[in-house]
Chain A
Amino acid sequence: MRWYWIDRFLEFESGRYAKAVKNISLAEDHLHDHFPYYPIIPNSLVIEGLAQTGGLLVCEHNHFTEKVVLAKIPKAAFYCEACPGETLTYTATIDYIQEEGAMVTATSYKGDVLHAEAEIVFAHLSDSRRGSLFDPETFLRMMNLLGAFDVGHAADGSRLVPPPHLMHGAKGDGT
C-alpha cells in the first residue's frame, strides 16, 4: 500500500490554496478492518489527506527547499461519514506562512455537504534534521503524480512549473 491519501489535484494556486479529490474505494484494505462490515473512511486518514493537500501547497510555496512535517492539529471536526463509492473534495488554504512553518485551514466536502474541517500546523524541520526523514524531491514527485502541474498556476496566474533546480526530480512515480 502506498501512502497517498489524495488521488488528484483539481486546483492549485501557489501560496494560496489547493483543491484535491479522494475517491473512496471498497478495494482499500483498511476499510474492511476499521469497522468490520461497516466500511467508512477513518477520520485519521481524512486528516492525512487534508495534510497532504496542505503540506504540498506549503512545500511548493517554499520551492521544495524545506522539509515540511505535520506538527499539530489544533482543531478538527467531522460532521458525517464517508463510504466507498463516494468522493471527498479537500480544500486547503494557507492562513499564515513563514520560515518556521505554516498554518493551514482545510475542509472536506462530500458533494455540497461539509464532511469535515480542520486547522493544521506544519513545521519546517531544522537543518540538523535534514536528511534523516525524506527528501524534498519526494514531494515534487508526488505533486507530479497527483497532477498539480497539470492544473496549477502561480500567484501571477502563469502556469505552475517545478523550480528549475529540481526539474530533474519532477519525473517519477513518487516511490
Chain B
Amino acid sequence: MPTKEEVFEKIQAALVDALGVDEEDVTPQATLVGDLGAESIDFLDIVFRLEKAFSIKIPRGELFPEDILTDAKYVQDGKVTEQGVAELRKRMPFANLDDFAKNPIVQDFGNLLTVADMCRFVEGKVEVTD
C-alpha cells in the first residue's frame, strides 16, 4: 500500500517522462496545461503511465471528462451551464472547481487540473496510507 508521498513521486516521475519537464517543476500546485505545457495528446500518454505505475484502469473521460464540454446540453455560448458544472463536480470529485464555477468558460477548463488533483484522483483508486 503506497503512502501519499509515494503516490506523488510516481505521478511526478510519470509527468517528467511524459512532458519532458524538470522534476522540480512538478509541484502539487502546478497545472498540467498552463505550468507543465501538457497538450491534449499528452493526456493519453499520462493515463498510460499512471495505469502502468499504479496497476489501475482509468476509463476514457474519467480524469478529463471532455464529453461534458462538447455536449450542447451542458454548454451555452462558450460557457458551461450550471447543470454542466454540477455534472463536472460529480464526475471530478478530486478537483477543486470553485474558481472555475465563478466564470466557467469552456476554454479555461483545460487549465484546471493540477498535480494535486491527479494525486487525489489516484488516491481514490488505490489504497493509500499517510
Contact = CB atoms under 8 A, between A and B. Distances in A.
Interface in B9-33: 17-18, 20
Contacts of A71: 41, 44-45
A75 B17 CA distance: 8
A103 B48 contact: yes
Interface stretch (A31-39, A46-54, A80-88, A92-100): A92-100
A100 B45 contact: no
Interface residues of A, number: 12
B17 A121 contact: no
B123 interface: no
A98 B51 contact: yes
A96 B52 contact: yes
A111 interface: no
Contacts of B57: 98
Contacts of A100: 44, 47-48, 60
A55 interface: no
A74 B44 contact: no
Contacts of A123: 41, 44
Contacts of A121: 41, 44-45, 48
Please tell me the size bucket of the interface on B: 10 to 19
Contacts, number: 36
A72 interface: yes
Most interface-central of B18, B44, B47, B57 (chain A CB within 10 A) = B44
B42 A101 contact: no
Contacts of A96: 48, 51-52
A66 to B, nearest CB: 14
Contacts of B20: 74-75
Contacts of A75: 17, 20
A83 to B, nearest CB: 30
Ranked nearest first, the 10 interchain pairs of A and B with the lowest CB-CB distance are A121-B45, A96-B52, A72-B41, A103-B48, A71-B41, A96-B48, A72-B45, A123-B44, A74-B18, A74-B45
Interface of B: 17-18, 20, 41-42, 44-45, 47-49, 51-52, 57, 60
Given A71-B45, A123-B41, 15 more contacts: A71-B41, A71-B44, A72-B41, A72-B44, A72-B45, A74-B18, A74-B45, A100-B48, A101-B44, A103-B45, A103-B48, A103-B49, A103-B52, A121-B41, A121-B44
Interface of A: 71-72, 74-75, 95-96, 98, 100-101, 103, 121, 123
16 contacts: A71-B45, A72-B44, A74-B45, A96-B51, A98-B48, A98-B57, A100-B47, A100-B60, A101-B48, A103-B48, A103-B49, A103-B52, A121-B41, A121-B44, A121-B45, A123-B44
